[in-house]
Each structure stands twice: as C-alpha cells, then as structure tokens.
Amino acid sequence: MRSRFSGSLLLLLILVSAQTFHAKPSLETLARQATSADAAEAAQAIAELREQGPAGLQALRQVYSEEINRQIANPLVAATTEWQRLSLALDTVSQQKDSYLSGLYWYTDLNQAKSAARTAGKPILSLRLLGKLNEEFSCANSRFFRTILYSNEEIGRTLREKFILHWESVRPAPRVTIDFGDGRKLERTLTGNSIHYVLDADGRTLEALPGLYGPAAFLRELDSIEALFQFVAKKKYPDLEFYSNHHRLELNKINFNWLSDIQQTGGKAPEGFVVRKRVDGSVQAVDVASLAITKMITEETILRSMMSTPEALGKVTDEATWKKIAQLHMADATLDPRSIGLIRRQTQKSIKVDGTGKNADLTLEKLIEKLQMSIALDTVRNEYLMHTKLYAWLIADRGRSDIDTLNKKVYAELFLTPASDPWLGLFSSDTYVAIDGGGISR
C-alpha cells in the first residue's frame, strides 16, 4: 500500500512535468523557429519575439549573426530562400525594412516607447512618415532614412545605445504604377515627407529634424540633443524652459551659419544685417536691423525678430547659391560602406536592365556621387529653411504636451501636405485631364 507521502510526491512530479512541458520556449529556440519553412510556426515565433522587445530582436541577430555578417560583407550575394525567411523575420520583429544592417528595434505604440524610455532613462526618437517603415513603398524620405541613416554603422550604434525608437504612420504613401504597354512597368511613390522628433519620456517634444539630413549632420544632431537631455536630467533644471533657451541659441547659430555660407560662396546679404557679438567675440544673434528694435518687447515680437533673419536670407538664396552652399557641406553627405553596400544590392538589377551597356561599377559610382550631392542640398535646405521655423514653434509652445498637434502643423504648414487634402495636391477638380471621371477610382 502506497503511503500518503509517496502519492503527494507523485502528484508533485506530474505537476512539475506538466509545467515544464508547457513552459515557453527560450529566445534562442524562438529565433530558430522564426525562420522555419512552416509558415504558421514561423509566424508564431516571430510574434513572440516581437513581444519581447529589443531582446527578441537581439536574440534573432545573435543566432544568425554569421549569415547577417555574410550578407553585409557581400551585398551582391544571391538571396536564398533561407535568407528571405530570415530577412522577413528580422524586418517583422524590428518593424523596419532592411533591418539586418541597422539592428534597430522600433516601437509602434508611443505609450510602450514612453514606458521603455522611463525605464532606460533615454530620450525617444519618434519618426512620423507616410506609409510604414517596415514596407518597401513607404515615402521617399523614410526609404532614404533606412538606406542612408539607419544603415550607417555609427548612426545605428548611436540609436541602439542612446535612444528609444518609435515610428508612426501619418497616412498611406501615394503610389503609382507606370505601365509601358510592352510588359515593362515602373512603380514609385509620389510626394510625402518625414520628420524625426526627439521626445522625453512624457512625450514632450525636445527637438525636431525635418526631412533628410546627411549622415554626419544627423549624427551631430543626435549626439547634441542626447547630451543635452542627459545634462538636464542630471542637473534637475526646469527642463522645458532650459530647452527653450537652448533653441534660441541654436536658431541664432543657424542664422549666422547661413549668412556665413552665403558670403563664403560669393553672395552678399542685403543691407541691414547686424551680427551682435558677446564680449568674448562669440555670436549672440543675427538681426535684420530694421526689424530688431521694437517698442514693446514681448515673446511674440522677439520671435518675429528672430524669424525675420531666415526669411530675409531665404530671399537672397537662389538655386545657384543653394548648390554652392551644398558644396561646402559635402562631408556631411558622405555615405559609409554599409549604405553603399545596400544601394549596390538594391540597384544591381536596375543597372543591368538599363540597356546602355555601361560599366556597372562606373554607373554606381556616378549614382553615389549624384546622390551625395542631393543629400547635401537637402541637408542645408532643411536646416536653414525648415529647422528655423520648427525652433520658433518650439520656443513659442512652452507646454509641448501634444506631439500630434505639432505634427499636424508640420505637415500642413511646413511640408504643405495638410490632412484636409486627401489627394495630397495630386488631384484638383478644376483641372481637366481628358480622362473619364478624372481617372479617379475608389
């Protein structure tokens, strides 16, 4: 006859065995299941890795580090079925296309990003874009971000180590297919812009970078705002007021740099510009003299005075001058080997079907040269024309509690693609196109 003790022990062993049997698989096991040929098994493992946050992505990258490094080192290596499954798993867990290069984990829920930021003591880099970051056909700027910024080795490391990442789609990216009628088709996205916000753990906006910046310029901005964030956190300053004062200084610096670039390229600023300096010789402000003196000093008049400078400088910076200024900042637009490798991978087919018989390496070299010039031009225009307006808005908005309200203002007044226009300026009912129904389908 069995004792009561032996019966209890047997029951305990059964319960332990049952718990062990139903225990969740390890991250390593999930990582291996994520590339399974069984689509259902892979989807379940990928979903569980995603739920684990950055740790889930890190486990996936560690298990397949050898294959990832092989793809980075040899961008033209043929994509096997196994690599396609791994690439899909990486992009789904990270929520970013081509994440094998960046290793970045993006939250798509801002509340989750805030919670992670509070735990880690880091700022949030929040991207707003048209389309989705994990899809091929997101808006053009976000595609350039993936290729030029996030794939950059130093930028990727900075984002992983110093920021909590989040993205949110503002609206779908408009997409067009051109059918040549002989079997050839071109597929593109039309219009759309993206912006990076830097937020604190409460979701308040500390910085905003509109559009595309060159890698070196983007990295400088990241390092500067992250260092400022940590400084404020340690010193316990009244942070929002501190940031407002910082933005005033930054706005003045941009104005001075713009004026200096115009003069350095042989241009002349209109009469009335005054550069005020401190005792030590550093620049305090750049003013338009006729607008700098007001009878009543208020926040509004100070901002109007500060913004009068970029408005006046914009009037004397024509297309030729912009190109000359961009030449001064080519170092900011230089691409690193990882970005060039991704571009090589993405363009190998299009270069082959070009039909001109050009040397592929020479074609790529010229493509990179042209792209870097375009990046340099975007960088200076975004910094001088858009960043200045954003600083004025941030200075005026003392509370900074509603990122969505600011973002609507950015898309409506800065990017000129307001939510009130469902066609993003691509259709107008008073323009005749000689197509039945205007070519619209719903």
38-47, 173-182, 330-339: least confidently modelled range: 173-182
52 Cβ partners below 8 Å, 6+ apart?
27, 59
Q: Report CA Rg, the chain.
A: 26
pLDDT over 60 at 418, yes or no: yes
Rounded CA separation 411/143 (Å): 18
Report whether 168 contacts 108 (CB < 8 A): yes
100-104, 253-257, 310-314: least confidently modelled range: 310-314
pLDDT over 90 at 49, yes or no: yes
CA torsion 35-38-39-42 (nearest 10°) is: -40
- In the chain, what are the helix, strand and coil shares in percent, each to the nearest 5? 60, 10, 30
Q: Contacts from 80-87 at CB under 8 Å and sequence distance 24+?
A: 82/35, 85/35, 85/36, 85/37, 85/42, 86/34, 86/35
* 224-243 pLDDT tens trace: 999 999 988 887 666 677 88
199 SS3 class: strand
* 380-410 pLDDT tens trace: 999 999 999 999 899 888 767 789 999 999 9
- Report residue 166: phi and psi, to 5°: -150, 140
Map out the domains of the chain with their CATH numbers.
27-94 (no CATH), 95-421 (3.40.30.10)
- What percent of the chain has a predicted confidence (pLDDT) above 70? 85
- Report residue 208: phi and psi, to 5°: -150, 130
Enter the pTM of the model: 0.88
Q: Contacts from 256-265 at CB under 8 Å and sequence distance 24+?
A: 256/283, 256/286, 257/384, 258/310, 258/313, 258/317, 258/384, 259/286, 259/309, 259/313, 261/325, 261/328, 261/380, 262/313, 262/316, 262/317, 262/321, 262/325, 264/328, 265/321, 265/324, 265/325, 265/327, 265/328
CA torsion 248-251-256-262 (nearest 10°) is: -160
pLDDT over 60 at 63, yes or no: yes
